[in-house]
Amino acid sequence: MSIEERAKAVGKNIEGKAQEALGNVTGDPEDRAEGKMKQAESEVRHTKEDVKDKAKDIVDRA
């Protein structure tokens, strides 16, 4: 598990939530969309780390 990669994913999620909220306040659909995209990227990064963790567990058990 890469703590650094997970921290980057959390940071990207926070950045995305803030940008989406800004878009909601200003009515800018582009900011809302970009914010949602950053949140989705964060989910992908977390999933990637989960897969790496599971693979490592399987290798360690063998």
The predicted model scores a pTM of: 0.85
Radius of gyration of the chain (CA): 15
d(CA 2, CA 9): 11
Cα 34 versus chain centre, distance: 13
Instruction: Give the model confidence (pLDDT) of 10-62 as tens digits.
Output: 999 999 999 999 999 999 999 999 999 999 999 999 999 999 999 999 999 98
Task: Give which of 5, 15, 14 is closest to 45, Cα–Cα.
Answer: 5
Residue type, 3: I
